[in-house]
Structure 1
Amino acid sequence: MPLAPYACDPAASRGRLHAEPESAHRTPFQRDRDRIIHSSAFRRLKHKTQVFVEHEGDYYRTRLTHSIEVAQVARTLARDLGLTEELAEAVALAHDLGHTPFGHTGEDALHACMTPYGGFDHNAQALRIVTEIETRYAEWDGLNLTWETLEGIAKHNGPLTSGPDAEAADLHYALAEYVARHDLELHTHASAEAQAAAVSDDIAYNTHDLDDGLRAGLFEIEELLDLPIVGDCFREVDRKWPALDAGRRQHEALRRVFGALVEDVLDTSRLRLGALGAADAAGVRAAGSPVVGFSDGMIADLRLVRGFLFERMYRHWKVARMRRKAAGVVAELFAIYMETPGVLPDEWRESARHAVSETGRARVVADYIAGMTDRFALQEHRELTDPMSRV
C-alpha cells in the first residue's frame, strides 16, 4: 500500500543527532527498529513484568511480550492507514524501555525516592536509555536513533509543553536535558505513526490484563459479562459454541475484544484523518488533537473495563501484597546505594563517586535500579540485606 501524504516518509527523515552514512539495504526507521531490538535494555524486558512479579508464573505477560504485542498491533494500524510501519513498530518496541522492575509499583516507588532529585518517569527514562545509557557505539552514547523515532518515544501520549517558547520547568530532567541539544518540538503532537503505537499499547494491555487476571484466578468469566464489549464478545462465543471448554471460550472471546478495539481505532482514525486533510506529517503534528485513537464511545466503555480491572485485579489482595514487598525492595535498594555507593558495580560506582552533587548521585542510582529485572532486584536486595546471603 502506498504511503499516505500525512505519513512519515523514511526518505525524508530529519536524520540523526550524529550524522552517519545511510544503509544500502534498510531505511532509517528499519535501522532504528533493529537497534532497539538489539539493545541491552530491550533484552532485559524479558524479566520485567506488567502486574505480576516475574517468578509468579510463566504464562503472564512480561514487558517484552507486551512490547511485541504492541508492535504487532501498531504495524496493523499503520499498514491500514497508509503509515510507515517500521516507524510505528520502532516506537512501539521502545515505549517500555524505561520501566523499572515490578511494573508500575516499582516506578511509583522509585519516583517517591527521586522526588527530591527531579522525580522519575518511565517515558523520560526510555529517552534517556536510547540517547545516553546504552553505550555500544564508538562515536556516540545511545543508539543515535532518527528524530522521528525519538519524537515518538518522547511524546507519543501527546504534547509536553504549551508552545515552542514555553518554559521547560515542568519537564522531567531527562527530557529537558536532551531537548536542549536536540529539539523534539515537544509542543506539538507526535506523528501519526507514534500515535498508532500509543493506542496499540492501550489495545494490548486492556485485553491482556483481562486474560492474565482470568489465568491468575483473580476473577471469573461470569464477572465480566456485564462489562461493555467484553460481555457481548463472550455471549457471541457462547451462542456459536455453547459447550466450548473454558480455555477456548476465554481465548475466542478476548480475541474478539481485541478485534473490536482495532476496528474502532481504524474507523475513527480514517474519519479524523480524512477530516483533517493533512498534506504532510507536519499537518498531523499541528492538529489540535490526536488523529489516531478510539472513538468517544469506546473510550467511555474502556473506562468501565479499566475500573473493573482496577478494583478486581490491581487492588486484589494477592497483587497488593506483592506490590508492598516490591515497593519496599526498590526503596531499600535506593537508600543503600545512596548511603553506600561502594556496593555498586565498578562502572556505576565510579559514576556515583564522580557525581558533582547528591542529585547527580541519585540519578546514577535511579538509572541503575531502573535497569534491573525483577529477578535481579530481588537477588540484589537479598544479598545486601540478608546476613546469611553469600555474595
Structure 2
Amino acid sequence: MSKSFMEKLLEGASVEWKALGSVADIGTGSSNRQDEDASGIYPFYVRSKTVLKSDTFEFDEVAIIIPGEGGIGDIFHYVEGKYALHQRAYRIRITLDTVDTKFLYHFMRSGFKQYILLKSVGATAISIRKPMIEGFCIPIPPLPVQIEIVRILDAFTELTTELTTELTTELTARKKQYNYYRDQLLSFEEGEVEWKTLGETLVRTKGTNITAGQMKELNKYGAPLKVFAGGRTVAFVNFEDIPAKDVNREPSIIVKSRGVIEFEYYDKPFSHKNEMWSYHSKNEGINIKYVYYFLKMNEPYFRSIGSKMQMPQIATPDTDKFQIPIPPLAEQERIVDILDKFDALTSSISEGLPREIRLRQKQYEYYRELLLSFPKAEVGPT
C-alpha cells in the first residue's frame, strides 16, 4: 500500500477537516458501578476495557465510547444498539451523514492519545472534559473512501482476532495433552516403585539475606547471577553482590513458598531470598528434573496446604516430608525426555502467541497510519 494507492482511492477529491464537536453529539452517561448487574442483557461501558452488564439501557445508537479518566487514548469501544454508560465515560454519536462512525473510531485510535497528551501537559493526572473532545480535529474524505478504509482496517483486526483464537485454542489443547501424558507418566501402581521423602532424597539449600529494595538496586542488565523472589520477581546481579556460600551452582528445584506457591527448575548459578528454599541432588540415581516434574504435578496439593494461612505459604517440613516415587534412573530420564518435548512445544506456542499478536497489531497500526494520513488544512467552521 503506497501513496499512489491513497491518491487513487481519493481520485482527486479534497479532504475537509472539522472539529469533532461540529459533527457529533458528545456526552456522558448517568450510571455508576453499583448499577452493574451480571445477569443483565445490555452492555455497560465504564472506564476500562472490560465491558460490564446492566439490566437497563440509557442509549440505543451507533457510537464510540471513551473513558473520561484512566486509559485515555488506549480504550475505545465501538457500539451498535442498546447500552448503559458510566457517568465518567463519554459517548460520541455522529450527527452528520457524511461521516462514518467506524471511520472515526479508527481515526481516534490513531491520533486521539497524542492530542490529549498535548492538551494535558503539566497535569498531574490526565482526565478529559467535553470541550477537549469537541476540539479534536478529524478529516472527512468522501464517504466511499471512508467505507473502503474501514473495510481494510476491519480486515486486519479480524485477522488478528482469528489468529489469537486459533493460537489460544492450540495452546489450550497442548496444555491438556501435556497434563494428560504427565499424569500418566508419573502415576505408579502400589508396590511398583520405591517411595522416599524429599528430605531423605535431596539436599535442601537456604537462600540469601536480601531485601526487595536491594534486589532492585543491584539489578543489572546482562549480569550473570539470577536471584529469585516470590512470584515472577527476579534480579540479575554480579557474583560479588551475593555471598559465595549463598550461590547455588547445581541444577535445582526452587520452592516459591509464599503468595503464589509453585516450583521452578533452574540449571544455572542462582540464589534466592531466604524465605524460600531449593533442592538439588547428590544422588546419582536421581534425576532432579524428574523430581521437578513430579512436584509440578502436585502444586495443587501444596497450594491447598498453604491456603490455610492468611498469606498463602508453606514451610520446609511440608516439602521435606513429601513422598516421591523413585523408578530406575533410565525410566526417570525417559519421562524427563518426553515431558521436556511437550514443555518445549507448549512454551513455543505460549511465547509465539503474544509475539504474533504484537506483529499483527504493528501491521494494523502501520496501515492505519498510511490510510489515515490526509493533508491537513484549515479546520472548517464549528
TM over 0.5: no
Which structure shows the bigger proportion of residues in strand conformation?
A: 2
Highest CA radius of gyration, 1 or 2?
2
Instruction: Return the structure number with greater helix share.
Output: 1
Comparing both chains, which one has the higher relative contact order based on Cα–Cα distances under 8 Å and sequence gaps of 6 or more?
1
Q: Please indicate the TM-score interval, normalised by the length of the shorter structure.
A: under 0.3
